[in-house]
């Protein structure tokens, strides 16, 4: 990395971080079941290339947990459907820009055991994430590993003002969060060509949340910080078909209102994500994947993911890239 490039990267990173922190005191957010951070297609994009990915995820969040104990709750069901649009652009050989935008549908049925169910569905534009990525170490045949770092922010472009009977709905039914968050990201991958097509990769991301003013100007609600670590392995059956298996560790701290921790928020999850991919052409790839809970520990009592399914399509305007679409 040249000194000039390093300076540009550090300067950009600083600006983005400062921008994120500047907004830290401007919000609140609820993203119940709506993926955003960690849902990107992981890699970096070559210079001049534009890649677009569209993912639709169905997340069944009907399980109820107290700590790590499953509670057999028959009173409430929930699901979230998210459509994510991810756009990646390779600015230079090392810099790329990634934007992820979402449209979210949330459904909640309550009162199933009191014989008076209420079925509520909300839908609207969700929040978006902008990440600037920098390839610290490029992969080559002689040294087949890549390291990339990134930083950015989650912008509260999502809807937070949906009302039911003229009353502002609770935060976990709003498509958006209302908060600016700072996002840090890192990526590592290695491959073993020509011996095998197998590749290993690891992604870490950290979201430092801002606060929202849902309850008033001087009343600050802040969703918990989020840490996601993903490790996985990918391989191909044929030139067209591939598979992957990833494990996702996710930890969120408790939400806070005016610096007081909110009950029944925050937790730790480990999910297994098996996925199959099909490269229809050099430009177009499809992927189907599932999310299966392996371990969940939730603070207090909370609904959480029973399972999730997603279907994705990725399109590269120029050519295949180093995307790991898993």
Partner 1 sequence: MKNFYSNIFVWFFIALLASSCDSVSTSSGSNSEDSEESSWLIPENQVFVGAGRDAIPSLDDPSFKPVNEITFIDDDELILGVKIDGEIKGYPHQILNYHEIVNDLVASTPVAITFCPLTGSGMAWNRVVNGRETTFGVSGLIHKNNLIAYDRATDNFWSQMLEMSVKGSLQSERTSSYSVVEMTWSAWKNAFPESMVLSGETGFDRNYRVYPYGRNYNQNNEFILFPIHREDGRLERKTLAHGIFYDTNLHVFPIKYFPDQLKVINRNIAGNEVVIAGSSKDEMVVSYSSVAADGSVLLFFESEKELPALMKDNEGNEWNLFGECVSGKREGEKLDRLPSYNAYWFAWADFFGQTPRLPIIVSP
Q: Which residues bind partner 1 (CB under 8 A)?
A: 52, 54, 64, 66, 69, 71-73, 75-76, 83, 85, 103, 108, 110-111, 113-125, 159, 161-170, 175, 215-216, 219, 257-264, 281, 283-284, 300-301, 315, 317
Nearer to partner 1, 138 or 213 (CB): 213
Nearer to partner 1, 172 or 181 (CB): 172
Is 108:62 a contact under the CB 8 Å cutoff?
no
Closest CA to 20 of 155, 132, 133, 126: 155
Closest CA to 273 of 228, 317, 315: 228
Structure tokens at 215: 């309850």
CA atoms in the 13 A half-sphere facing the CB of 267: 23
Nearer to partner 1, 16 or 169 (CB): 169
Q: Shortest distance, CB of residue 36 to partner 1, whole angstroms?
A: 16
Q: Shortest distance, CB of residue 306 to partner 1, whole angstroms?
A: 15
Instruction: Identify the residue whose tokens are 């600050």.
Output: 220
Closest CA to 255 of 183, 166, 178, 150: 178
Q: Shortest distance, CB of residue 268 to partner 1, whole angstroms?
A: 18
Structure tokens at 152: 């950015």
Nearer to partner 1, 67 or 274 (CB): 67
DSSP secondary structure letter of residue 219? -
Q: Shortest distance, CB of residue 27 to partner 1, whole angstroms?
A: 16
Nearer to partner 1, 77 or 246 (CB): 77
Nearer to partner 1, 12 or 123 (CB): 123
For residue 229, give Cα distances in angstroms to 93, 167, 187: 26, 37, 10
Specify the DSSP element, H or E, that contains 130: strand 118-137
Q: Shortest distance, CB of residue 181 to partner 1, whole angstroms?
A: 21
Q: Where are the alpha helices (DSSP H) in the chain?
A: 3-22
Closest CA to 209 of 170, 249, 252: 252
Q: Shortest distance, CB of residue 101 to partner 1, whole angstroms?
A: 9
Nearer to partner 1, 58 or 243 (CB): 58
Q: Shortest distance, CB of residue 168 to partner 1, whole angstroms?
A: 7
Instruction: Identify the residue whose tokens are 């971080």.
Output: 17
């Amino acid at each position: 990395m040249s000194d000039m490039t390093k300076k540009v990267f550090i300067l950009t990173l600083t600006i983005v971080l400062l921008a994120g922190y500047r907004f830290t005191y401007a919000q609140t957010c609820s993203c119940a079941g709506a993926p955003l951070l960690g849902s990107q297609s992981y890699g970096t994009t070559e210079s001049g290339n534009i890649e677009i990915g569209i993912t639709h995820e169905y997340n069944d969040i009907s399980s109820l947990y107290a700590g790590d104990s499953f509670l057999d709750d028959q009173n409430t069901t929930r699901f979230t459907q998210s459509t994510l649009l991810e756009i990646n652009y390779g600015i230079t050989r090392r810099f790329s820009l990634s934007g992820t935008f979402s449209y979210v549908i949330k459904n909640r049925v309550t009162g199933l055991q009191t014989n008076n169910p209420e079925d509520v569905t909300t839908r609207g534009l969700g929040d978006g994430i902008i990440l600037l990525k920098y390839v610290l170490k490029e992969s080559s045949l002689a040294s087949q590993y890549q390291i990339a770092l990134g930083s950015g922010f989650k912008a509260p472009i999502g809807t937070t003002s949906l009302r039911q009977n003229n009353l502002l709905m609770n935060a976990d039914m709003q498509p958006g969060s209302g908060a600016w968050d700072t996002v840090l990201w890192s990526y590592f991958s290695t491959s073993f060509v020509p011996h095998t097509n197998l590749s290993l990769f690891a992604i870490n991301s950290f979201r430092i949340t801002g606060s929202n003013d849902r309850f008033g100007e001087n009343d600050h609600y802040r969703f918990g910080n989020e840490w996601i670590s993903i490790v996985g392995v990918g391989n191909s059956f044929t030139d067209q078909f591939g598979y992957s298996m990833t494990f996702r560790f996710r930890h969120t701290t408790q939400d806070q209102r005016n610096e007081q921790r909110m009950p029944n928020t925050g937790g730790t999850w480990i999910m297994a994500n098996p996925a199959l991919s099909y490269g229809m052409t050099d430009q177009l790839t499809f992927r189907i994947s599932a999310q299966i809970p392996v371990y969940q520990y939730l603070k207090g009592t909370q609904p959480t993911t029973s399972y999730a399914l997603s279907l994705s399509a990725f399109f590269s305007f120029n050519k295949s890239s180093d995307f790991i679409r898993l």
